[in-house]
Amino acid sequence: MEAAASSSNRCSYSYEDYRETTDWLLAHTQQRPKVAIICGSGLGGLADLLDNKTVVPYKDIPRFPQSTVQGHAGQLVFGSLQDHQCVCMQGRFHFYEGYDIFTVTYPIRVFFLLGVETLIVTNAAGGLNASFNVGDIMLIKDHINLPGFAGQNPLCGHNDDRFGVRFPCMSDAYDRDLTALAKQTAEEQGCGGFLRHGVYCMLSGPTFETIAECRALHHLGADAVGMSTVPEVVVARHCGLRVLGLSLITNKVVTDYDSKEKANHLEVLETTRLRTQDLQKLVSYIVAKI
């Protein structure tokens, strides 16, 4: 898991590093996925939908990071979903685990080299929008990249044109056709009553947000807040992948100083467990229509 370092160009990985990982995976599975699904906290059950599975633990994959968070199994699952070949990440990587931005996003360029064309990202998020309820599913229409404001962008450093252009557009980060398809599918599957549409804001964690931070994020236009997703989306769009984002609202953020509510990870996992089947069904039918 060594990264190619440069004193003048920051720490990153080389094209050959990504190629090595990709070639190893191609040699260890017969599947050639066109869709990749990143499973957020407690959402690893999405991989259970796959048929003809090949399971590859992260620890066995050359240069691949390790997932350390409860609710993240730490393995790639290859298989078929609705006759589409897919790969699921059961466990993603985060800043708060001690990984740098290049390691957090390492799998995305590997997916690109595997031939993936569409990325579905899921996460557990706190609801900032007062109209959101715990258990709602939010289609991500846009994001606020707060770590990026501070220079933590996975595209900093040397640009390799084999992955994408130097200055990629992000105004279309979340594919509008896929979002419309997801909305239509949710209504057909009876999920329209708890489907929302909004802006996701990423913080680095691992602390949950203060009351003042939540109020500030709300004023910035964020509808939900979490600790993941945005770096992966940035790299996916740099590579030209289409992206669909789904946030499961697992708790309502605290914005009142008189409130006795406190966010905690066990609450996140429990809410996720209760809504997992609905989210699995939604993702399955979306993939069938891609």
- Asked whether residue 86 carries a pLDDT value surpassing 50, the answer given is yes
pLDDT for residue 8: 38
User: pTM for the full model?
Assistant: 0.90
Q: Is residue 96 classed exposed, middle or buried when 0-12, 13-18 and 19+ CB atoms within 10 A define those classes?
A: middle
Instruction: Tell me the average pLDDT across 68-84.
Output: 82
Domain residue spans of the chain? 15-289
Residues 229, 123 contacting (CB under 8 angstroms): yes
Instruction: Tell me the average pLDDT across 22-33.
Output: 95
- pLDDT-derived band at 4 (thresholds 50, 70, 90) equals very low
Residues 201, 225 contacting (CB under 8 angstroms): yes
Q: Which helix (H) or strand (E) holds 289?
A: helix 265-289
Enzyme catalytic residues = 41, 72, 94, 96-97, 124, 227-228, 251, 265
Instruction: Tell me the average pLDDT across 123-152.
Output: 94
- Omega before 206 cis (within 30°)? yes
- Asked whether residue 48 carries a pLDDT value surpassing 90, the answer given is no
Which CATH homologous superfamily contains domain 15-289?
A: Nucleoside phosphorylase domain (3.40.50.1580)
